[in-house]
Amino acid sequence: MTPLYFRQDFGHLPKLHVYVDETGDRGFSDKSRAKSPFFAMTALLVPAEEEWTVKYTAGGLRALVHSGPPEARLKPLHWVEHFKAKRPERRLHAAKVLAQMPDAKVIHVITHKDSLGHDSVMRRSKEHFYNYTARLLLERVARAAQGWPGGKRLAIVRLGAVKHMDHSTSESHLDHVRNGGCETYSVPWALIKWPPTWETTQRDGIQLADIHAGLLNAALSGDPADRDCASNLLLCRHQLRRSRDGRVLGHGVKVIGDETFVTGRAWWPDWARP
């Protein structure tokens, strides 16, 4: 039997566009952990026939945040730059228009840095940290492509490029995983067009993935007892990938480390509710 990752016929499947960006940082110094106790990668999944909603949404948000001549509206969106906490109306508008993308799905992989053991491979380097997180995210992307409503799809994955990082090492690591270098429990890797690519923020979908990640950051940066800090994130809760019986943990949300860092928050029951 031909191994799953060599199946050529999967190239004829309907396409699924996947855009990935990150939030937080991957450092473990006292300063880094105090500033950013978590790191997360977020994937926005959109069926190819609905790609127009990506362009429509990104274009509309650029028109919202940019003023001046028309060419100014081509400047990419950045959560940190354009959706600061002092602009709550922009955050709310962004969440509302993202939530209106009818067939989009979202996956988050979140690492709570303080609950990782001191011997964790993720502490060895920022590259190890990134590569392991990306692997867990792409595993879930592959499974989402396998179980997509209406039938299997081939996922075209584009990740936001990280400054000062050689993504050829990421590709090599993911190649190793995909080709059986470690157990991934029958992940359908053939449903991801290989290799994934790392691109600039000029790509509309990566800009939108950045905003989804920013909504998550705002929620996780709030007090665990505060539900309001996640009000915008909750507007997009219906887009979280879920299991067939409606579970989100392990599917649309994967937590590395202590799960209660996420599940112990006041807004978690509403976020996880089918």
pLDDT tens per residue across span 57-95: 999 999 999 987 777 778 999 999 999 999 999 999 999
Q: Residue 212's CB: how many other CB atoms inside 10 A?
A: 26
Q: How confident is the model at residue 196 (pLDDT cuts 50, 70, 90)?
A: very high
Question: Nearest to residue 218, comparing CAs of 73, 94, 126?
Answer: 94
* pLDDT at 2 > cutoff 50: no
Residue carrying structure tokens 């665990």? 224
Which ranges of the chain does DSSP label H, i.e. alpha helix? 30-35, 51-65, 79-82, 88-99, 126-146, 167-176, 204-220, 231-234, 260-263, 268-272
Which is more confidently placed, 123 or 259? 259
- Decide if pLDDT at 118 tops 80: no
Q: How confident is the model at residue 5 (pLDDT cuts 50, 70, 90)?
A: very low
Structure confidence by residue, pLDDT tens digits, 15-67: 999 999 999 987 777 677 767 899 999 999 999 999 999 999 999 999 999 98
Rounded distance between C-alpha atoms, residue 95 and residue 88, angstroms: 11
pLDDT digits (tens, 9 = 90+) for 98-112: 999 999 999 999 999
Three-class SS of 47-88: EHHHHHHHHHHHHHHHHHHCCCCHHHHHCCCCHHHHCCCCCH
- pLDDT attached to residue 1: 36
Please state, rounded to an integer, the average pLDDT across all residues of the chain.
92
What pLDDT, in 10s, does the model give residues 144-177? 999 999 999 999 999 999 988 889 999 999 999 9
Residue 266 pLDDT class (50, 70, 90 cuts): very high
